[in-house]
Structure formats: structure tokens, C-alpha cells
Amino acid sequence: MAVDEVTVEELEELLPSARLVDVREPYEFEEAHVPGAVLVPMASVPDRLDAFAGDEPTYVICKTGARSLRVCEFLEAQGLVGINVYGGTKAWSLSGRELATGSA
């Protein structure tokens, strides 16, 4: 299943109005995350589909883009639109962009 992707550069242009969901574990999120991201750990996604529902797509991020890609595939199978952030939080950080810390 093909999933749409955006780069961190494209994501930055969409923020803060885009819905961004981080699917990493809480400890990872607390260490560093893209400002404005909402935490929905990957294991809880099936029970939290409301976080992805709406007229606009959801941009999904993890550490490197692998977990978020799997979540996007799952969302597509549920009839929802998930767009993967290529390279994830690591690419965001390596590009020198600001990171937030702390819990959601």
C-alpha cells in the first residue's frame, strides 16, 4: 500500500496548522519532539482513531519514519488519511530545527 510522505522541510511549512501525531513511546516523546506534536503511542493507535479522524490529513511522525509508516498503512486500511514524515524526529533534529521536551 502506497503512503504519502512529506519531508521535514515540507512539514515545517504546514505547522502549526497541520495535525501532527507522534507515535513513539512516552519516554521518547518527553526527551524531544517536534513542537505541536500530540503523543499517541503506536500500540494505542487502534483505540485512539479519534485522534486521526477529521477532514484534514494527519501527519504521523516517529524517530526515523518506520513506525509512522506502519501507522499510516493501518490508518489507510481504516479509511483515514495518514501522511508519513520521512526521516522522522531524527531528520527534524539533524536539520537544526527546534525540538520541544516534556510530556504532552
Catalytic residues: 62
The span from the CA of 87 to the CA of 46, in Å, is 23
Q: Residues near 30 by Cβ (< 8 Å), separated by ≥ 6?
A: 101, 102, 103
The span from the CA of 34 to the CA of 18, in Å, is 12
